[in-house]
Amino acid sequence: MCYRYGMNHDAYPDTYIRGILNTVKTIAMVGFSPNTVRPSYFVFKYLTERGFNVIPINPGHAGKEFLGCKCYATLGDVPEPIDMVDIFRAPPFVTPIVEEALKLSPKPQVIWMQLTVRNDEAAALAEAAGLKVVMDRCPKIEYGRLSSEISWMGINSRTLSNKRAQNLGGGFQRMGLNQAGGKKND
């Protein structure tokens, strides 16, 4: 496959993913579900607990608060700058969401499409506007993988290290993305 812009979306280097998760603070989650056993709620809760400012986007629940985070109907309604848009929608619905994201001012830095969501046309649109794009990945899994938290579940993190993982603070079982003595984007 060839791409007009940016990344090889079949294989992201860990440095790319770690760089994104180390940079973004405010994440708008499009397709958020308030149902506590749905994957989007899992990711919302997990990222919130890891210190991200996650803003749920769902027109059916606009105005309500979830874990202290106010839900909005659309990206345009969010009254603060958004660093990353995390998309929990099927591929055919992604392009209009990216188009809406690109109209924001300031523009977000990252478009992230969840596990099983891939839309190369929308990705090209975002990359042409200078945004970073991740497709078919889950930020919870990627955070867990790069922080080593996921290794507690016997998951193959595909990472080796001679540095110890760092505790994030706020509890024994919350690890940070960066390793002791390591550089931020190692």
Partner 1 sequence: MADAERTPGFDTLAIHAGAKPDPTTGARATPIYQTASYVFDDVDHAASLFGLQAFGNIYTRIGNPTCAVLEERVAALEGGTAGLAVASGHAAQVIVMQTLLQPGDEFIASRKLYGGSINQFNHAFKSFGWNVVWADPDDISSFERALSPKTKAIFVESIANPGGTVTDLEPIGAIARKAGVPFIVDNTLATPYLCKPIDFGADVVVHSLTKFLGGHGNSIGGIIIDAGTFNWSRDKKYPMLCEPRPEYAGIVLHETFGNFAFAIACRVLGLRDLGPALSPFNAFLISTGIETLPLRMQRHCDNALAVADFLSTHPAVAWVSYGGLAGDKYHGLAKKYVPKGCGAVMTVGLKGGYDAGVKLVSNVKLFSHLANIGDTKSLIIHPASTTHRQLSDEQKTKAGAGPDVVRLSIGIEDKADIIADLDQGLK
Pattern 54-93, partner 1, x by CB under 8 A = ----------------------------------------
In the region spanning residues 2 to 31, those forming contacts with partner 1, defined by CB under 8 A, are 11-15, 18
Contacting residue, 30, 71, 123, 150, with partner 1 by CB under 8 A? 150
Query: Least distance to partner 1 from the beta carbon of 101, Å?
Result: 24
What is the rounded CA–CA span in Å between residue 82 and residue 95?
18
- The answer to whether 129 contacts partner 1 (rule: CB under 8 A) is no
Residue 54 phi/psi, 5-degree rounding, is -100, 130
For residue 145, give the DSSP letter: H
Cβ-proximal residues to 51 (8 Å cutoff; 6+ apart), any chain? 168
Contacting residue, 5, 34, 45, 118, with partner 1 by CB under 8 A? 45
Closest-CA residue to 97 (of 42, 37, 32): 32
Burial class (CB in 10 A: 0-12, 13-18, 19+), 101: buried
Under the rule (CB under 8 A), what is the footprint of partner 1? 11-15, 18, 36-37, 39, 42, 45-46, 49, 115-116, 138, 141, 144, 148-167, 170-175, 179-180, 182, 186
